């Protein structure tokens, strides 16, 4: 146990000293999971070194939740991507992860009532490793778009960029959980989209706040604007989504070992075994509020929902397809008490 703790502590110290993001501590990899809650809208705050991002007063909507999982790419439309990250079939991003970069090859898009999917032939840059304060990179982008809400195809061109525009301390919404060694990564895209009924300019700006020891952002602000030109004139739609990392906000105050303290707590309250399994998986908990177990496939589709009986449940997974599944343990009022993953090995 001491050796494990020392290894974790060493990893965190490396991040602290170098304040640096790399493929190993930042890029998604198959098997990674994380959960995000939606929050009220807030401005991104200051840039530069020594920034103070205090979002404690922002309301968190814990009933609006997305469980993300990363997996190998099986979609033939994205042959250059090697990892897919998604919460449902309508919310998947396809990425190419290397030691030097993280490229975005497309996925789902939604701006107001405009929904569709993007396929990049020239990818957007999401990261350029290693990244520290003021690291920047840019790339031209282009590809095809299918606007499902209008049932039409089109093309797009434009540019993308990534910039580590701030470093400092963040306090998460609705909590007193603070991370004193945080990097903020700003990714932007501008796309000129051409379809048969007109043209559109779509701009996106994503602020992701990364803390030591946690791959997924602990906080994120994403804004998209679409200006559509047609014979009827121009129309503009803007939307902003603000989210925070559920597990990060469960950590003790002012600690960079977030996640490990929570995992130790969860280990004493929740047991899932055997895992992997090709027959049955047992869920056992002594949490007084635990009521129901839900199991989802990697796309976010619900495949199982059963009630616990005196804190116990045996789920038959013999008919499941081989692969990774996500699960949640929830209360009567739909609070997520625990989330994790199981592997079906048959």
Q: Of the candidates 65, 104, 112, 111, which has an alpha carbon nearest to the alpha carbon of residue 85?
A: 104
Q: Are residues 154 and 73 in the same domain?
A: yes
**Model pLDDT, residue 220:** 97
Confidence of residue 250 (pLDDT cuts 50, 70, 90): low
| CATH code of the domain in which 297 resides | 2.60.40.1930
Q: Are residues 106 and 196 in the same domain?
A: yes
**Model pLDDT, residue 58:** 92
Instruction: Answer for the pair 324, 345: CB distance below 8 angstroms, yes or no.
Output: no
> How many domains does the chain divide into?
2
**Model pLDDT, residue 12:** 38
Q: Would 283 be classed as within a structural domain? A: yes
Q: Would 10 be classed as within a structural domain? A: no
- Average confidence (pLDDT) over 261-285: 68
**Model pLDDT, residue 113:** 56
Q: Are residues 112 and 54 in the same domain?
A: yes
**Model pLDDT, residue 62:** 85
In whole angstroms, what is the distance from residue 269 CA to residue 287 CA? Answer: 6
Strand, helix or coil at 129?
Answer: coil
Q: Would 287 be classed as within a structural domain? A: yes
Q: Would 1 be classed as within a structural domain? A: no
- Average confidence (pLDDT) over 288-304: 84
Q: Are strands 152-171 and 48-54 parallel, antiparallel or unpaired?
A: parallel
Residue 41's domain spans which residues?
A: 19-250
Q: Is the pLDDT of residue 150 over 70?
A: no
Q: Are residues 222 and 282 in the same domain?
A: no
| pLDDT 10s digits, 100-146 | 999 999 998 776 556 788 999 999 999 999 999 999 999 999 999 98
Cis omega (within 30 of 0) on the bond before 274? yes
Confidence of residue 44 (pLDDT cuts 50, 70, 90): very high
Q: Output phi, psi for 176, to 5 deg.
A: -110, 25
Domain end call among 250, 281, 304: 250
**Model pLDDT, residue 16:** 40
Domain end call among 195, 224, 250: 250
In whole angstroms, what is the distance from residue 89 CA to residue 82 CA? Answer: 17
């Amino acid at each position: 146990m001491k050796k494990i703790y020392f290894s974790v502590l060493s990893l965190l110290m490396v991040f602290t000293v170098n304040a640096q993001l790399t493929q190993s501590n930042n890029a998604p990899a198959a098997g990674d999971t994380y959960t995000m809650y939606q929050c009220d809208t807030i401005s991104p705050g200051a840039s530069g070194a020594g920034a103070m991002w205090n979002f404690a007063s922002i309301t968190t909507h814990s009933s609006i939740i997305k469980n993300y999982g990363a997996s190998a790419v099986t979609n033939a439309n994205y042959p250059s991507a090697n990892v897919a990250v998604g919460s449902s079939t309508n919310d998947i991003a396809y990425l190419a992860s290397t030691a030097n970069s993280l490229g975005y090859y497309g996925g789902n898009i939604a701006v107001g009532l405009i929904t569709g999917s993007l396929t990049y032939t020239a990818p957007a840059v999401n990261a350029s490793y290693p990244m520290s304060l003021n690291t920047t990179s840019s790339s031209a982008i282009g590809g095809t778009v299918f606007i499902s809400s209008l049932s039409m195809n089109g093309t797009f061109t434009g540019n993308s960029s990534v910039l580590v525009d701030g470093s400092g301390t963040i306090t998460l919404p609705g909590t007193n959980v603070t991370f004193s060694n945080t990097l903020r990564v700003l990714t932007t895209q501008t796309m000129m989209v051409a379809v048969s009924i007109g043209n559109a300019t779509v701009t996106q700006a994503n602020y992701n706040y990364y803390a030591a020891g946690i791959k997924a952002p602990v906080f994120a602000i994403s804004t998209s604007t679409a200006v559509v030109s047609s014979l009827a004139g121009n129309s503009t739609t803007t939307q902003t989504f603000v989210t925070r990392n559920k597990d990060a906000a469960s950590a003790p105050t002012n600690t960079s070992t977030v996640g490990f303290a929570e995992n130790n707590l969860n280990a004493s309250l929740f047991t899932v075994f055997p895992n992997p399994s090709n027959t049955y998986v047992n869920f056992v908990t002594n949490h007084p509020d635990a009521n129901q177990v839900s199991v989802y496939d990697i796309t976010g589709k619900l495949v199982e929902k059963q009630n616990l009986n005196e804190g116990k449940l045996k789920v038959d997974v013999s008919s499941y397809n081989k692969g990774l599944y996500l699960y949640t343990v929830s209360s009567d009022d739909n609070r997520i008490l625990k989330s994790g993953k199981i592997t079906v090995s048959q």
